[in-house]
Chains A and B, each alone.
Chain A
Amino acid sequence: MSSAAGIIFFGTFVLFWIVVVGAAVTLARRGKLTTVTLLPYQRGLLYRKGLPVREVGPGKHRVWAGSELLVHCDVRPITVNYENQLVALSDGAAALYTFSASVQARDIRKVLYAARDYTQVPAATLLRCARRQLHLSSVGALKMDMNGIADRISKEAKSKLDAAGFDLVSFRVPQFNLGSVQQTNPQAAPPQGNPASN
């Protein structure tokens, strides 16, 4: 073997081992390179070493499993529908209401940080706003302005949902009945609405 050929062979040999050891170290540090596919209705947030790096859209994304994580969320509209909810009004009367709404995720980063389970945020927000706005109203005020209550609820819910990264697409109150809570036995507990808790 000539000296030049020997140097080339030796260089190639050293380079081979550098590549092998480097690949092994990289795999050990960063984990396997995996492919994550996001569907057209999904958006994701890529985390590197625990911190958010960038938002990603639909398509294939290469992720180092050991140091990166792609958290994705569904941006299809979330339908919220609650029927026959009972609420006490400010003057002691009662109202029975039904509402339905559609909410869509807009800002993925805000949505992911809004709650442990972001899909629960729209329902919780709408129930909260509806109950509060109705409880602050009286029978007289509601009779005078029946449509106004839906506007007030949707306005309050819209601002709260906006802060959580959602858009309120639609909001309707298809059923709304005013009445009084009749108690046959004063010692008995008042009628229960549907607990929409948890």
Chain B
Amino acid sequence: MTQDFFVNSGSFISLVSVIALTILSQSRRGKKRILITDYRRGVRFVGGVFSGVLEPGSYLFDARKEQITIMDMRPQPILLERLTFQDALKQQGVVSLATEFVVRDPQLAATALRDQIKDCYLLARNAIRTVMSQQIIANVSDLAAANEILTKAIRTELFKVGMDISNTEVTELWLNPASIQNQTETISAGVQ
């Protein structure tokens, strides 16, 4: 082997290596790496159009063309405490509910809600007031029945925006005794 062979081979290897490094650096220009943990999902938009939901993993994306919105799939505990309502018989009442908001559809939740928790809180509160105003509360101690009705109503509203509730519990249900008494007297008077 001659000296020329080593020099020529060395030059060739250097050239190939430099080209490889240049290609590698150019291919990563404008790209960012994002890490999505197993309790999150990434909603990917390419050129402003939804293109898919990213599962957990490490992704390289072009920040100039793509946007990734991270959605946290972990539950968020929420207390809806002492919400006042008026039932179908115009009785004043108070209901308290403990629940957890969870993301069901990351794409829908990312596009329909600006702040998932605050917006869902308002949706849930309105759903509770709406459904309670249509109910005749016969037995305030039957929390399970109230829980079922409220869960169904809230879930229906939240499904529309890609959210859901879990671990729901009615912690308080109270009707104003004065209004119940007035109502009973009215009913008794009507019967007589």
Q: Which A residues form the contact surface with B (CB < 8 A)? A: 1, 3, 6-7, 9-10, 13-14, 17, 20-21, 24-25, 28, 31, 47, 49-52, 66-69, 71, 86-88, 90, 92, 112-117, 120-121, 124-125, 127-128, 131-132, 135, 181, 183, 186-190, 192-198
Given A3-B1, A186-B178, A198-B117, do A50 and B13 touch, yes or no (CB 8 Å)? no
Which of A25, A87, A112 meets B172, CB within 8 Å? A87
- The answer to whether B79 and A88 have CB atoms under 8 Å apart is no
- The answer to whether A128 and B98 have CB atoms under 8 Å apart is yes
Asked if B10 is an interface residue, CB under 8 A from chain A, the answer is yes
Which residues of chain A have C-beta atoms less than 8 A from B98's C-beta? 124, 127-128, 131-132
Across the two chains, which residue of chain A brings its CB closest to B124? A197
Across the two chains, which residue of chain B brings its CB closest to A193? B82
Given contacts A121-B77, A135-B171, list 20 more A-B pairs with CB under 8 A: A1-B3, A9-B6, A10-B10, A14-B13, A21-B17, A24-B21, A28-B28, A49-B57, A49-B58, A50-B56, A50-B58, A51-B56, A68-B35, A116-B75, A128-B77, A183-B176, A183-B178, A187-B92, A194-B81, A197-B81
Given A1-B3, A50-B35, do A193 and B77 touch, yes or no (CB 8 Å)? no
Which of B38, B76, B92 meets A189, CB within 8 Å? B92
Q: Interface readout for B1-19 with A: 1 if CB under 8 Å, 0 if not?
A: 1010110011001100100
Across the two chains, which residue of chain B brings its CB closest to A160? B167
Across the two chains, which residue of chain B brings its CB closest to A25? B24
- The answer to whether B76 and A88 have CB atoms under 8 Å apart is no
Given A1-B3, A20-B21, do A114 and B81 touch, yes or no (CB 8 Å)? no
Which residues of chain B have C-beta atoms less than 8 A from A6's C-beta? 1, 3, 5-6
For B, the interface residue count at a CB cutoff of 8 angstroms equals: 55
Given A28-B28, A132-B171, A198-B118, do A127 and B17 touch, yes or no (CB 8 Å)? no
Residue pairs across A and B with CB atoms within 8 Å: the count is: 152
Given A6-B6, A69-B37, do A88 and B77 touch, yes or no (CB 8 Å)? no
Q: In the assembled complex, how far is the CB of residue B186 from the closest CB belonging to chain A, in whole angstroms?
A: 12
- The answer to whether B79 and A128 have CB atoms under 8 Å apart is yes
